[in-house]
Structure 1
Amino acid sequence: MDCCAPSNSTEVVKTECPTCGEKGKNVQLITLKSLLKASALEIIEPDNTYVFCSNPSCSIVYFNGNHSQSFVENDLKVPVYQKNQRADVPVCYCFDWTRERLLQVIDTDLKPADHIKAHVQAGRCGCEVNNPQGACCLGNVNAFVRGLK
């Protein structure tokens, strides 16, 4: 399955974050299984729906639908682009396009989004297991690049 293509198998459920109140998007369980540290993975409740909170000022990364459980960035193996402003944090997790790397090529002919799209079309992306938001990063990459211009 193409991780950057719309999926009909998982219905997008919008739920409000118990901490900040913003609506989040549900993520597949495989995303949590891939990215949570062992200590957090040992307590997930596989029968629950989990939601990603993208609010940069909120400490919650994932929470479950009944608000009985949540996880913060320290519970993950990777930093979260939306929550962490460091230059070395990936904007594209599959192909390691960090903020720093994007800044280095912004004034060149290299188009990161084209590079990423080529890999996606070749079936090489794995956003559902690499990206904490569990979805394609192209929107994040394009927004970041637009913000630099």
Structure 2
Amino acid sequence: MEQLDCCAAPKAEAARVPCPGCGANGKPVGEETVQGLLIPEALAALGVQGRSFCRTASCPVLYFAADGSVAHKAQARVRVGMKETEGPRPLCYCFGHTYEDVAAEVAGGGACSIPTLITAEVRAGRCACERMNPAGNCCLGEVNRAVKEARVAVGLPLDGPSPRAPVVPDERRP
């Protein structure tokens, strides 16, 4: 499978450091991400070295730095979907898809077109994940997790066709 640029892992990723808010290991993020997503006051207060993103849903810390400084979820310019409990919860920041969009598609037929739509947009060079996604990377991993969670929520297997999915005839048969 072809690797999409915004989905590629950074070549030299810094060591993961525990979040001062919850103790979970953070994910290193780049300058472009924090500059685009934090309000100016929070950006000025956040240390420059070793910036990381905390993905723990219940933790109020969004970004933290090696010097112990933090920026909280409330200091972001956007809602951070994986840290929200009420909808709409952003999932794809470049193209406007939400967790609720995924759940509605799955509930309506078992399948979900959103990962395919995002992949097509990424291939066309229309994503800005590093600037728009608080995690600083491509959302497809999180989108695919959301699809699996939505399938489980409606009693479908994690992968495979839905019993409600339309059957496409094989035109090669006689």
Deviation string, structure 1 residues 101-133 (Cα, Å, up to 9, x no partner): 222322245511011011111111111100001
Unmatched segments (≥5 aa) in structure 1: none
- Give the aligned length: 146
Local SS of the residue matching 1:88? coil
Name the TM-score, length of structure 1 as normaliser: 0.89
Match of 1:94 in 2: 94
**Whole-angstrom distance in 2 between the partners of 1:44 and 1:21:** 18
More strand by share: 1
Deviation string, structure 1 residues 35-77 (Cα, Å, up to 9, x no partner): 001221233333x12100111111111000121x101111100
**Whole-angstrom distance in 2 between the partners of 1:24 and 1:56:** 12
Match of 2:38 in 1: 36
1:104 aligns with 2:107: no
Match of 1:75 in 2: 75
Q: Alpha carbons of 1:110 and 1:83: their partners in 2 closer, same or farther (altered >3 Å)?
A: closer
Q: Do the aligned partners of 1:28 and 1:50 also contact (CA within 8 Å) in 2?
A: yes
Cα deviation for residue 11 of structure 1 reads 1.8
Local SS of the residue matching 1:23? coil
Q: Which amino acid aligns with 2:53?
A: F
Q: Which amino acid aligns with 1:93?
A: Y
Cα deviation for residue 84 of structure 1 reads 0.7
**Whole-angstrom distance in 2 between the partners of 1:65 and 1:124:** 33
Q: Do the aligned partners of 1:2 and 1:123 also contact (CA within 8 Å) in 2?
A: no
Match of 1:145 among 128, 144, 147: 147
Match of 2:133 in 1: 131
Match of 2:52 in 1: 51
- Report % sequence identity: 36
Q: Do the aligned partners of 1:17 and 1:23 also contact (CA within 8 Å) in 2?
A: yes
Unmatched segments (≥5 aa) in structure 2: 152-174
Bigger Rg, which one: 2
Aligned-CA RMSD value: 1.7
Q: Do the aligned partners of 1:4 and 1:120 also contact (CA within 8 Å) in 2?
A: no
Q: Which amino acid aligns with 2:59?
A: C
Where relative contact order (Cα < 8 A, 6+ residues apart) is larger, the structure is 1
**Whole-angstrom distance in 1 between the partners of 2:6 and 2:36:** 14
**Whole-angstrom distance in 2 between the partners of 1:104 and 1:60:** 30
